[in-house]
């Protein structure tokens, strides 16, 4: 069970992750989650297809998230997965922070 300090830390990191993603959600992204662990934070991108744009956006979001921390902070990494996400795959330490709208029977991040 996470104590109140753990929840506060998870909330803060989740907010940082949302800030880091601003303007970086490409059309192929279906969803983004953040997994917060003691020594590690992972951004997880689910997409329709893998592309260089997606890879660049994931790298930039990781860089931006890292820049929001000061002093010692956890390792920040990302993972890219294909297809529809299973939110349970993030485990108890994870949160979904973006999920594309469904248009014409398909999730679409165009707004």
Total count of domains within the chain: 1
Structural domain contains residue 49 = yes
Average pLDDT value for residue range 75-96: 87
pLDDT digits (tens, 9 = 90+) for 6-15: 789 899 999 9
Alpha helices, DSSP H only, in the chain?
Answer: 4-21, 52-68
Q: What is the pTM of this model?
A: 0.84
The average confidence (pLDDT) of the chain is: 87
pLDDT digits (tens, 9 = 90+) for 28-82: 899 999 999 989 999 999 999 999 999 999 999 999 999 999 888 899 999 999 9
Which of 34, 12, 19 is closest to 97 using CA atoms? 34
Structural domain contains residue 106 = no
Strands 101-103 and 94-99: unpaired
CATH number at residue 75: 3.30.300
Domain range enclosing 43: 4-100
Kindly indicate the confidence band of residue 111, based on its pLDDT and cuts at 50, 70 and 90.
very low
% residues pLDDT > 70 (the chain): 89
Structural domain contains residue 107 = no
């Amino acid at each position: 069970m996470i104590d109140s300090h753990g929840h506060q830390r998870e909330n803060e990191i989740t907010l940082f992750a949302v800030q880091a993603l601003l303007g970086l959600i490409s059309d192929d992204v279906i969803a983004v989650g953040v997994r917060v662990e003691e020594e590690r934070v992972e951004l997880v991108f689910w997409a329709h297809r893998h592309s260089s744009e997606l890879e660049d956006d994931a790298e930039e979001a990781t860089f931006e998230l890292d820049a929001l921390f000061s002093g010692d902070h956890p390792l920040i990494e990302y993972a890219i997965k294909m297809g529809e996400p299973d939110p349970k795959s993030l485990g108890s330490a994870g949160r979904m922070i973006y999920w594309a709208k469904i248009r014409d029977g398909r999730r679409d991040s165009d707004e």
